[in-house]
Amino acid sequence: MSLVSSSGSLSLPSAQASPGLRVAEALAFSFVIGLCAQIRIALPFTPVPITGQTLAVLGAGAVLGSRFGVLAVLFYLAEGILGLPFFAGGASGGGHFFGPTAGYLLGFLPAAGLTGWLAARGWDRTPARAAAMTALGSGVVFACGLAGLAGFVPAGALLQAGLLPFLPGDFVKIAIAAAAVPAWRRIADGIESGN
């Protein structure tokens, strides 16, 4: 069995046998996203916390590929809406899609899709390209997040409330992805080739 699907995404060997197992992988990754959302640092000057979930969202795209990475995010969002304590700090409920973090949550979908699309084109093979892939995915989250946050904070405070305080944490996430994603790819390629 191959760890690398025809789309270039990485997968468990058993998952190549059945689309149902790929869906199960996406469901499992949704729990990883929910767990990483509990890594939360509240900032007193913004309604948006620093969380670990963005790294997991982008990891879902890089590891599962575009389609199943997006599915993992859809599962995560649905789980949070349905009451599982998966949003930042153990929160849940559909009200989050009408508040200041709605744009960030919705931005996870295209970010996972873009990251998976780039990974399928080899952006997951070197630390520099994995860093760029992660930065682009993070940029999508910020663009969507700022668009949503604009309805809740004055225009002059938008960057301070929704972007600037998060950049140091994003640099850490980018560094983690730059090391982890190519390492995962090498492991998968080694198993694929029998080494």
pLDDT tens readout for residues 98-141: 999 999 999 999 999 999 999 999 999 999 999 999 999 999 99
Residue 116: its pLDDT value, please? 97
Residue 136: its pLDDT value, please? 99
> Can you name the CATH fold of 15-193?
Arp2/3 complex 21 kDa subunit ARPC3 (1.10.1760)
How many angstroms separate the CA atoms of 159 and 170, rounded?
Answer: 15
Domain residue spans of the chain: 15-193
Residue 13: its pLDDT value, please? 46
The one-character DSSP state at 151 is: T
pLDDT value at 51 more than 70: yes
Q: Which of 68, 73, 74, 76 is nearest to 23 (CA)?
A: 68
Predicted confidence band at 188 (pLDDT cuts at 50, 70, 90)?
A: confident
pLDDT value at 148 more than 80: yes
Find the mean pLDDT for residues 148-158: 96
How many angstroms separate the CA atoms of 48 and 45, rounded?
Answer: 9
